[in-house]
Amino acid sequence: MENLKLNTKNLSAIGERIAIPKYSRSDIKTGIVHVGIGGFHRAHEAFYTDQLLQDESVKDWGICGVALLDFDTKIYNTLKEQDGLYTLIVKELDGTHTKRVIGAITEYLFAPENPTKVIEKMASPEVKIITLTITEGGYNYNEATKTFDFTNPLIIHDLEHPNAPKTIFGYLTQALKLRQERGLKGITIQSCDNIQGNGYMTQNMLLSYVSKAEPALVDWINENVSFPNAMVDRITPVTAAEDITHLKETSGIDDAWPVVCEPFKQWVIEDDFIAGRPAWENVGAQFVEDVVPYEKMKLSLLNAGHSVLGILGALMGYNTIDEAVNNPNIRAFLKHYMDEEVTPTLGDLEGVDLEAYKQSLLERFGNINIKDQIDRICSETSAKYPIFILPTIQSQLENKGDIGLAAFVTAAWAIYSLGTNENGDALIIKDALKQELGEKAKEAKHNPIAFLELGSVFGTLKQNPVFTKAFVNAYEDITNKNIEDNLKSINST
């Protein structure tokens, strides 16, 4: 089989091998600008939108993908070479791969190369929605001060150079200002990140920035921009070299960056789109009035579950999430954590069978075909912990509930931050706070509580005697015996 490079020219020939978009891409107008075109967006929103565009009457919802950071050069160049096309490979539970070419990204821009183009695109009348996947840390929220972080050098840069911004806040402010000046109607800004109340977070952080950068724009935003909250879900590991080779060998498709993901997907969105929206419900998204309880459930069970598996698994020398969760001691620990420490914080979730949800998570984590990297899960834990784990601890402390298992994971993270696993192998730590974490981890060897001094991660946890006691005990337990033996004793009590 001849190898075909993925691009528009070869698309119909590729269509003889795997599914391709049925619609004419050149007829699609751009209605959405999406910032952050990593794997998750391409496995989730772009996938849903591609499904929707298969309906030939839908023509207004093409996506312009924006790469915001220098770091995104490679993905931008790949999309450019492939005319915005990429293959989505769904790794089914039975080990088979379902492959399709996604065509929903009809335009793509590289912000560092041409900021004005990005601002103009966001301000163009046909664009009705700006969606964001900018990661948990991208919202510039400081857990210690509970406010927008104006000390961030990139924010200082944007305030000084409004026409050549580097952060999402600088871009949005300029684009919204143009929309106001041009008398354009409203627009929706929709977060697709794993944050409790991600719409509220986006709104609050943007308004904080605008109050300083363009105070006169605040009222206009309040009247003309909506910020729906949403829960997003689809496990999307980092594409591995083998995925690229496998696609070539099995289908003869030469795609420099396919996206791999699990079969499960979920998108629960508040129906608050001031300028209209795609009928994503026709392709499986759920529109609800209040998404907050569902977000909380997903963040504190799935995402926190991932962090638990990642931190403990990394220390024990595992590389992938399935390896970790398929260890019976880790699995039992995670189930205890979900049942005893998270479930009491979730309240009433109408229409949700929580037990079935937890079981389904264990199954999804255990999918041996996904090979989700522990490195991916443990990256940026300093931004994830305050969203995934801390709220559970705070709520349990308020209600005098158990926090011992969360304290154990936190202590394990302190040990992890020393940079070596139990077998003496080096851990690759990818975290914006890597240095601070490393320093505190070293201090913690003599005084465990020092680790909790990182206020932007732990807030005021250090002042809580119930938590600090459990944390110090757990820290000592981990220094005295290996993780697996600790888990055995914890699980048997």
Please report, as ranges, the residues that interact with ligand CS2 according to CB under 6 A: 194, 233-235, 303, 306, 377, 384
Amino acid identity for residue 426 in this structure:
A
Nearer of residues 41 and 234 to ligand CS2, judged by Cβ: 234
Q: Which residue is nearest to ligand CS2 (CB)?
A: 306
Give the shortest CB-47-to-ligand CS2 separation in angstroms: 13
Place of tokens 């229409």: 351
Give the shortest CB-99-to-ligand CS2 separation in angstroms: 21
Give the shortest CB-434-to-ligand CS2 separation in angstroms: 16
> Which distant-in-sequence residues (6+ apart) come within 8 Å of 253 by Cβ?
3, 4, 6, 14, 17, 18, 87, 99, 247
Nearer of residues 123 and 195 to ligand CS2, judged by Cβ: 195
Give the shortest CB-291-to-ligand CS2 separation in angstroms: 14
Amino acid identity for residue 1 in this structure:
M
Phi, psi of 233 (to 5 degrees): -155, 120
Nearer of residues 316 and 470 to ligand CS2, judged by Cβ: 316
Gap between the Cα atoms of 116 and 330, Å rounded: 50
Nearer of residues 277 and 376 to ligand CS2, judged by Cβ: 376
Gap between the Cα atoms of 65 and 1, Å rounded: 32
Give the shortest CB-20-to-ligand CS2 separation in angstroms: 26
Give the shortest CB-289-to-ligand CS2 separation in angstroms: 22
Nearer of residues 121 and 384 to ligand CS2, judged by Cβ: 384
Place of tokens 């913690």: 444
- DSSP letter at 256 equals S
Give the shortest CB-327-to-ligand CS2 separation in angstroms: 18
Gap between the Cα atoms of 440 and 429, Å rounded: 14
Nearer of residues 210 and 374 to ligand CS2, judged by Cβ: 374
Nearer of residues 13 and 352 to ligand CS2, judged by Cβ: 352
Nearer of residues 131 and 194 to ligand CS2, judged by Cβ: 194
Nearer of residues 316 and 321 to ligand CS2, judged by Cβ: 321
Beta bridge partners of 97: 91
Cα distances (Å, whole numbers) of residue 395 to 392, 398, 403, 406: 5, 5, 10, 12
Exposure string for 73-101, b = 16+ CB within 10 A, e = fewer: eebbebbeebbbbbbbbbbeeeeebebbb
Give the shortest CB-226-to-ligand CS2 separation in angstroms: 23
Give the shortest CB-398-to-ligand CS2 separation in angstroms: 25
Nearer of residues 179 and 306 to ligand CS2, judged by Cβ: 306
> Which distant-in-sequence residues (6+ apart) come within 8 Å of 338 by Cβ?
301, 305, 358, 361
In order, the DSSP letters of 82-141 are: TTT-EEEEEE-TTS-EEEEEE--EEEEEETTT-HHHHHHHHTSTT--EEEE---GGGG-E
Give the shortest CB-447-to-ligand CS2 separation in angstroms: 29
Place of tokens 């002042």: 463
- In this structure, are residues 443 and 451 in contact, taking their beta carbons and an 8 Å threshold? yes
